[in-house]
Amino acid sequence: MAGEQKHPSSTALTEEQAARMLAGMNEVIRAGEEMRRLRAEMIKVFTDLGWTQERIARLTGMSQPAVSKQVVKHREAGPPQPMDLALGQVDPPWLEGRLWAVAEDIAETYGAAARCARAVDVLARHRKRFTPENTDALRRLVEEDLRRYGGELAAHRAAYDEISRALDVPSQATGTPPGPASVRRTLAHRLQLDRLRGGDEPPAGP
């Protein structure tokens, strides 16, 4: 079998150079795949909330037949597990989503001056995952901003203290809350942002 052809050149591209060029592209591709999976999971949540396929199609920008296909697959998988939308849940993905929201709102308020601004930007671009190490790093940055801006962030401080206590003392509750971690993190992020910006928390239960 013939080997790789070699073309001698003073400007040959090295494997390391190619890897660096492709790294950013691969991140975008992975983020796109992850977002498609997350959207499919969110369609399940909307379906379980009783939303119509027309409404889901309008919000997701998908065709109604595509939504219908997702809904049918979900229904064939069995009866839904009601998802609790109360803000004060204590499983790690939910707490991570709330922490992300607190950091994001601080970053939007203070811009590049916020210590957590760069970390929030990386998370928004889906270039960093929520590992325990990354979560701890984000907590430290948020704590720095809370110390710097003091009374201007009273609501953020209250939310952060609640999140921090729950992360430091893991819940002893048995069983796994319904929904994939990515969905729970996304929901908690949105609900916490709305709360910080003056929105209402949805009622608990289905």
> What pTM value is reported for the model?
0.80
DSSP assignment of 2-48, as one string? --------TTPPPHHHHHHHHHHHHHHHHHHHHHHHHHHHHHHHHHH
Judged against a pLDDT cut of 60, whether residue 4 lies above it is answered with: no
**What was the pLDDT predicted at 12?**
77
Q: Report pLDDT digits (tens) over 22-75.
A: 887 887 788 888 889 999 999 999 999 899 999 999 999 999 999 999 999 888
pLDDT band at residue 79 under the 50/70/90 scheme = confident
Average pLDDT of span 92-110: 96
Q: How confident is the model at residue 7 (pLDDT cuts 50, 70, 90)?
A: low
List Cα–Cα distances, 144 to 6, 27, 179, in angstroms. 54, 29, 32
